[in-house]
Structure 1
Amino acid sequence: MSGRRPRRHVEEEHVNHERWLVSYSDMITVLMALFIVLFAISQVDQEKYIALRDSLAAGFMDTTTSPSVLEGTSGNLDGATVHKDTTPADGSAGMVSADSGLGLQAADPMTPTTQTPQESVDPAVLAAAQAEAAHLQDLEARIMQALAANGLDSAVRMRIDERGLVLGLVADDVFFAPARAELTDTANRVLDVAAPLLVGIGENISVEGHANVIPVSGRYATNWELSSDRATQVLRHLVEVDGMPGSRIMAVGFGDTRPLVAGDTPEALAANRRVDLVVLSNAPEQVRALLPSLTQGG
């Protein structure tokens, strides 16, 4: 007998032909997680959408002649109402009229309206707007009375808009000479008369400088610098001479981008060379949106 041990047979490793199932199951798991996430974020919170719809109905409102653009329907956001498309082929139902007011929306011109903005707004908002309008009108009357007592009532144009009470210092060359920012004697008198009333209120004041379309030369590179300097000169007089707290007043220049009168006629050139003092209302936006309709002619 030989001393050699018998040679053990080693079988070859079996090839796993089902290894692809591991990658396939991983892919299926990822896809399932993706669809779960998509399903979760697609769920509509009806209460939040209804609250959004109601807030838009109160906020986006034509404050001149038309009710809210969302008034008269629950809208598609209630999850139940189905609306039939009645838009004309020419798309005229979607046209709105232009309006220079801030944030104003025009209603469908093809649909007659029977409600006023006051009738379609929340009573609490309307009451707050009426109180704010009365406050601004009272301030306007007191300033105009003080100016009239000094023979200066014709030197200021006043109006109430969505921001508050606007005092327009516009009177040909009464306040500013062409391409100049120095205050005239009349401008100083107007500011000194109006300042005690402006200092005594709690609202902030925005001093907004403007220029006409005539290009400037010399000291100022553009009308932006000219309008900004005019606003700054008014601000400095109110703060340094009339005691306006610096924390309540700001100055900004708009150049010739916001004219009162369009064109380059002598009247337009004189009217657009101005500074506006804006008494910024502290009321919420929904309340301020109603101010123009409550103070027409104010």
Structure 2
Amino acid sequence: MPSAPVRKTGTWKLAYADFLTALMAFFLLLWLVSGVSPESRAEIANYFQPKDNEAAGAAAEAGPSEADRLFSALSQNPSLLAAGSSIMLTREPDGVRLDLVDTAERPLFDRASGHFTETGLALAAETGAALAGTEGFLSIEGHTDAFPSMAAQYTNWELSADRANEARRIFEAAGIAPARVKAVTGLADTRPLVPGQPHLPVNRRVSILVQTEG
């Protein structure tokens, strides 16, 4: 006959001993905490708080950054709002970028020329007036689409540089101090606004980075 299975005895005693040990440790912790001052308990609690919460708390106390305030102000500017899709605002790590973009319905630039149309002149002047009351250095970039220039001996490099300089002159006439302008660059069609579609009209633009940080 097969032998009867051996029953293990005493396992409950081990579990009970573990329970008593945990219970004693818990009461010991309560006894230790009861003798700690409220200030010390607060310090201990703060020590075990997640670091992300501390960073978030510090950021909340500091309030919005200068770039955040600038972005909010420009987003609510009536003149810029009236421009609709002809102007794009982007919050960047070190400031705010404004793109004055050409569209088929509302062209901002004369064809094969660095000059603005009347619509472009008005928008550039309104943008300059909006930025005149702000702080931060400006970097102005001129861009073209990927179609080659229609003028002989006048490439997209010259065209984009002329558009950037035209914007600089308009901004300074609108009240922006020349010392705030730190760069005026023509980038031709090397940085399309819509990657993969370099021939779109919106790639013809003047881009202004207002650097408020760094």
TM-score range for the pair, normalised by the shorter chain length = 0.5 to 0.7
Cα shift readout 1:208-249 (whole Å, capped 9, x = no counterpart): 11111122242553222111111011101111x312211111
The alpha-carbon deviation at position 124 of structure 1 amounts to: 4.7
TM-score for the superposition, normalised by structure 2: 0.64
Q: For 1:31-78, what per-residue CA distance to the aligned partner results, in whole angstroms no more than 9, with x for missing partners?
A: xxxxxxxxxxxxxxxxxxxxxxxxxxxxxxxxxxxxxxxxxxxxxxxx
Contact 2:112 2:151 in 1 (8 A): no
Other-structure match for 2:84: 153
Q: Deviations over 1:84-103 (max 9, x none)?
A: xxxxxxxxxxxxxxxxxxxx
Matched, 1:234 2:164: no
Contact kept in structure 2, 1:181 and 1:229, CA below 8 Å: yes
TM-score (norm: length of structure 1): 0.48
Percent of paired sites with the same residue: 30
Matched, 1:247 2:187: no
Judged with a 3 Å threshold, the aligned counterparts in structure 2 of structure 1 residues 242 and 123 are, in CA distance, closer, same or farther, namely: same
Give SS of 2:93's match.
Answer: coil
Question: Which has the larger share of helix?
Answer: 2
Flag the 1:220–1:155 CA change in 2: closer, same or farther, 3 A: farther
Alignment of 1:178-217 (within 5 A): 178-217=111-150
More strand by share: 2
CA contact (8 A) 1:157 1:168 kept: yes
Is 2:63 aligned against 1:132?
no
Corresponding residue for residue 261 of structure 1 = 194
Q: Report how many aligned residue pairs link the two structures.
A: 161
Q: How big is the alpha-carbon RMSD for the aligned residues of Structure 1 and Structure 2?
A: 2.7
For residue 295 of structure 1, what is the aligned residue in structure 2?
Answer: none
The aligned runs of 1:41-56 (5 Å cut-off) are none
> Residue deviations 1:169-201, cap 9 Å, x none?
113252113332111111111122222221111
Of 186, 207, 211, which aligns to 1:276? 207
Consecutive unaligned residues of structure 1, counting only runs of 5 or more, are 1-114, 285-298
Q: Is the 8 A contact 1:204 1:279 kept in 2?
A: yes
Within 2, Cα distance between the matches of 1:247 and 1:217?
Answer: 34
Work out whether 1:177 is the aligned partner of 2:124.
no
Q: Deviations over 1:142-162 (max 9, x none)?
A: 33x2234xx423321111112
Q: Larger RCO: Structure 1 or Structure 2 (Cα < 8 Å, ≥ 6 residues apart)?
A: 2
C-alpha displacement of 1:133: 4.3
What's the counterpart of residue 97 of structure 2?
166
- Letter of the structure 2 residue corresponding to residue 274 of structure 1: R
* AA in 2 matched with 1:137: F
Give 1:181's aligned amino acid: G
Taking the aligned partners of 2:62 and 2:154, their CA distance within structure 1 comes to: 45
Unaligned runs of 5+ in 2: 1-49
Alpha-carbon distance in 2 for matches of 1:257, 1:125: 37
| Structure-2 separation of matches of 1:225 and 1:127 | 48
What pairs with 1:56-71 in structure 2 (closer than 5 Å)?
Answer: none
Distance 1:220 1:138, change over 3 A: farther
